[in-house]
Amino acid sequence: MIRRRTMLKGGLAALAAGALPMKAFGQANRVNAPFPIYDTHAHFYTHEPEKYPFQAQGARYGAERMIAKAKAKPITPEAVFDFWSQGNILMGTGVQYNSTYSTDNSYLLDCAAAHPNRILSVVILNPLDPKTPDELRRMTKENKIAGVRFMGMPRDGDYVFFTEGARATWEAANELGIVVVLMPFGGDANHAMGRVYDYANRYPNLNIVLDHIGFPNPSDYPKTYGFTPMHHALAACKNVHYKYTTFLMLEILDKTGVKLNEFMDYAVKLYGPDQFMWGSDIGNSEGEDFDDIAYLQKVLDASAHMPYQTRRAIFFSTAYRIFVPGGGSPVQES
């Protein structure tokens, strides 16, 4: 029997059902959305190195720049909630930020513990560490995590999280019913999607979420908006879900001049709205004047022609269904 999420209490549950006005959380809305929104990709970090030491060696633009960024503009729950309040965003998934803390998930877990009805945790752990399976079991029970994230570039032709050394970690995630979030980058995108396909079939009852939709690049596959042959093959795997993010828009789609409404039409037709979700990537976007709300409005506008239920699935229902605190994530709606 599929274990179901315990319903959110009081006003949050009513808002999830669409019963409360969207001004329920402070600041007036700045976006036009007729439904609550779920943010699947929020990063949290602070500048308290005595309590939460930085491990920023893996930062995209170098450790010094990342630490300076965290000092100048920490992404605390208060900062994220300010954005969420303006964006009709009810709740979201806190994604461990490798660029600040690597596999030390302390700050994220503390944020989620302080705000359990609004922040769900997706941690990062080393998939090859023999201690990771038991650590996942402990975190699922004690911290009520919703998922674990594996990321990185290929080594010797494959990604470490797709090697046999990671099998015990995958087995633990499968046992616990937590979501596995993947971000393979670098190398050949078609090969990476092929490996996702392999593992989706190996673990058909385990929900997998693909960060940034696996980086489809229209420059490489212009006729299919960047979707590789193995991106297309993945459509048959109903346990794989696709995260459409501001980062993907900024780093790839904007730069290739793709029309966002056409891209979304193609992607949603390929995978279906019940496999699709949106994430802001707040905390990772660059520039002092970067406006996360403006990019949320862009993606809302790009879907405005779609039916209400399709849009609600993309922006709320799919994520709310599969990210379950403490595991027990259902592969399909029951």
How confident is the model over 136-160, as pLDDT tens digits? 999 999 999 999 999 999 998 899 9
Task: Annotate 140-160 with b (16+ C-beta within 10 A) or e (fewer).
Answer: beebbbbbbbbbbebeeeebb
Any domain includes 18: no
pLDDT of residue 62: 86
Average pLDDT over residues 6-27: 46
How confident is the model over 273-320, as pLDDT tens digits? 999 999 999 999 765 567 899 999 999 999 999 999 999 999 999 999
Q: How far apart are CA 48 and CA 257, in angstroms?
A: 40
Any domain includes 31: no
Domain count across the chain: 1
Any domain includes 160: yes
Average pLDDT over residues 56-71: 87
pTM of the model: 0.92
Is the pLDDT at 6 greater than 80? The verdict is no
Is the pLDDT at 110 greater than 80? The verdict is yes
pLDDT of residue 221: 96
The alpha carbon of residue 62 and the mean position of all alpha carbons in its chain are separated, in whole angstroms, by 23
Is the pLDDT at 60 greater than 80? The verdict is no
Listing DSSP states for 236-274 in one string gives G-TTEEEEEEHHHIIIIIHHHT--HHHHHHHHHHHH-GG
pLDDT of residue 78: 97
How confident is the model over 188-207, as pLDDT tens digits? 999 999 999 999 999 999 99
- Bridge partners (DSSP) of residue 179 are 147
Question: Residue 73: which domain range?
Answer: 37-322
Please state whether beta strands 240-245 and 208-210 pair in parallel, antiparallel, or not at all (unpaired). parallel
pLDDT of residue 143: 98
pLDDT of residue 149: 98
3-state secondary structure 271-310: HCHHHEEEECCECCCCCCCCCHHHHHHHHHHHCCCCCHHH
Any domain includes 11: no
pLDDT of residue 200: 98
Any domain includes 328: no
pLDDT band at 24 (very low <50, low <70, confident <90, very high): very low
pLDDT of residue 23: 47
pLDDT band at 1 (very low <50, low <70, confident <90, very high): very low
What's the CATH number where 159 sits? Answer: 3.20.20.140
pLDDT of residue 290: 78
Any domain includes 12: no
Residue in the structure block whose two tokens are 């596995």: 180
pLDDT band at 16 (very low <50, low <70, confident <90, very high): low
Any domain includes 3: no
Any domain includes 208: yes
